Structure 1
Amino acid sequence: MKALPYDELRTLYRNFLHSQNISQLTINTAYTNTFYLWRKGSKELFWNAVTDTDFEDTSKNELIKALSENSTGNVNSLVSGYLSHLRRFRLFLASDGTTEPSVLKQKKTANHEYTRKKKMDIDVPKPSIEQVEIYLTKWDGLENYHLQEDALNKLFFELCPKNTDVIDILLKASTLNDFYSTNIFSIYPVAKHICALDIDLRLKAGDVTLVGDIQYVTIGDTLKNFYSFASKYCSHNNPLDYPIYDSYVDEVLRYFRNHDNFSDFQDGDLKDYVKFKGILIDFRTFYGLNKYNLKQIDQYVWLLGKDYFQKNYGKKKRGDK
């Protein structure tokens, strides 16, 4: 691969992209943006980045440097998109550049094949670096999730970065509630509750007890428990310190506890956010996935759960219970 000229490599990669279950728009973008470091830097820079043993950090740092020197856009917003293209290119390298990886083909039919089976009969692929790479690439190819995430990042990090104005909080909470179908029918009391907690310093510090403080809200005369929503609100303010809880993640963690004994937690521990985050960290460590941050582990586990523990045949958004 390294010996191929620029145009030949791109042609070979484009053929590979057409063998994937991704849109033509994504193919067109990947065909160009994957080779950004080559165009703006050098062939050597490109190959060093995509083959580095510490790929995530090395490639991100090189992309930030190149984008800072050559782009007038928001570098922090742009870098994740370029990095996702490099992840897909690494999948191309793992397939020898000739065919779609058999594991990825398996994922396309996983819903149809396994939804009819009982949980005890499900055979979920064991977590590994290869599996995480496959699912992160799959995440990057899901344009509806990717664009939704970009929109939320703009809202939380650029338009309304603080949590001191109830109007800003109302806007963010309403958008989360709509995007993720968290089914909160009266969002204003939730926004008012969050505003009263004065959460910005705790968010920045990664205080995991904050989720528990946000999740319980009195609406009328009833105390409501918005656990999944609370984890999402914290996560979109500080994604590296607050992984998201939802039913798919719950299913996957219990499955691998039962099969591999990676932890001895009780089912109810997953509904305690402090314990939940610790369990997810134990999961990452047990399977040798420490090169990935908790946001990436969260995305991988959620998509894995969506493939193997789908409860119905309808579309399910992130956060439905």
Structure 2
Amino acid sequence: MTNNDFENSAKDKLIKALSDNSTGNAKSLVNSYLSHLRRFRLFLASDGIVEPSAPTQEKYAYRAYTRKKKMDIDVPNPSVDQVEIYLTKWDGLENYHLQEDALNKLFFELCPKNTDVIDVLLKASTLNDFYSTNIFSIYPVAKHICGLDIDVRLMAGDVTLVRDIQYVTIGDTEKNFYSFASKYCSHHNPLDYPIYDSYVDEVLRYFRNRDNFSDFQDGDLKDYVKFKGILIDFRAFYGLDKYNLKQIDQYVWQLGKDYFPKNYGKKKQTKI
């Protein structure tokens, strides 16, 4: 517990012990055990208080516990069983299915291309309404998208396209519609474009802090190329490679909605 290389040495020993004594996925199981060791180490080292001078290698162990609100949250460890529970739950949400079916018909059948501003306006307006993204002037967004000639890039899964769509000048002000841009691309090509939103952001930061599955900075989640890579790292770290990114997205979003609800009197976002 007092080893200066606690993270690596504890993880290596746990993986060996679990591999020798368990039939489960050791890399997946180790995170739950490691999180408890981190809490005990935190208690021994500082009685719950992290000193500003703590070495960088210690910060990973303490980062999830710097705010009391986060300390009280105990999210189930990602696993195949957990993903199956949430995908089954998703299948039972009739309102989401009907809205998703409507969007699929609009994006795949009625208006699959993005060369006619009227088609783009229909899709952008519907997304804005269904997701409550609060874009108050949708026409400049549609015109911007139409001018980018995006169809070939969408089919190719070009992740840099999200950044090109997200920045729109309305009047004299440049707006950043990052989450909307990820949704617009995702509804054309859901397997290559996972959706970014605040619930997903919360879950990825929580498990980074708890299990150190990645060393990204908070701001990296607002860079779509990095965001997609982080989500892929999350999937690989917890042994969830059998699921595509849309399924991982559905799981993570519901997890965030359950464990990191928004209780500030604001209208909750609807996920499709």
Cα deviation, residue 120, structure 1: 1.9
Summarize deviations over 1:117-158 as a string: whole Å, max 9, x none.
Answer: 822210000100000000001111111111111110000000
CA distance in 2, matches of 1:294, 1:282: 11
Higher relative contact order (CA 8 A, sep 6+): 2
Q: Structure 1 counterpart of 2:100, which letter?
A: E
Give the TM-score, by structure 2 length: 0.73
How far apart are the structure 1 equivalents of 2:137 and 2:267? 24
**Quick one: distance in 2 between partners of 1:197 and 1:315?**
32
1:316 — aligned with what?
A: 268
Give the residue type in structure 1 aligned to 2:268: K
Query: Percent of counterpart pairs with the same letter?
Result: 90
Name the SS for the 1:118 alignment partner.
Answer: helix
SS of the residue corresponding to residue 196 of structure 2 reads coil
| 2:127 aligned with 1:176 | yes
Pairing partner for 1:298 from 215, 229, 249: 249
User: Please, which runs of 5 or more residues in structure 1 have no aligned partner?
Assistant: 1-116
Name the CA distance, whole Å, in 2 between partners of 1:192 and 1:130: 44
Q: CA RMSD in A?
A: 1.4
Alignment equivalent of 1:244, drawn from 167, 188, 195: 195
**In structure 1, distance between residues paired with 2:266 and 2:178:** 23
Name structure 2 gaps, 5 residues minimum: 1-67
Write out the 4+ residue segments of structure 1 that deviate beyond 6 Å after TM superposition. none
Mapping 1:1-321, distance limit 5 Å: 118-312=69-263, 316-318=268-270
Distance in 2 (CA, whole Å) between partners of 1:315 and 1:126 is 29
Normalization by structure 1: what TM-score? 0.62
What is the rounded CA distance, in whole Å, between the counterparts of 2:140 and 2:224 in structure 1?
22
> Could you list the per-position Cα deviations for residues 139-191 of structure 1 after superposition, in whole angstroms to 9, with x for gaps in the alignment?
11111111111110000000001111000000000000000000000000000
* 8 Å contact kept, 2:262–2:268: no
1:97 is matched with none
Measured in 2, the distance between the counterparts of 1:251 and 1:160 equals 33
Deviation for aligned residue 1:315: 5.8
Look up the SS of the partner of 2:174 in the other structure: strand
Q: Per-residue deviation at 1:243? A: 0.2
- The 3-state SS of whatever aligns with 2:147 is helix
Query: 1:309 & 1:191 partners in 2: Cα distance?
Result: 32
CA separation in 2, counterparts of 1:177 and 1:314? 17
Q: 1:308 corresponds to which letter in structure 2?
A: Y
CA distance in 2, matches of 1:195, 1:299: 28
Matched residue count: 204
Distance in 2 (CA, whole Å) between partners of 1:204 and 1:263 is: 29
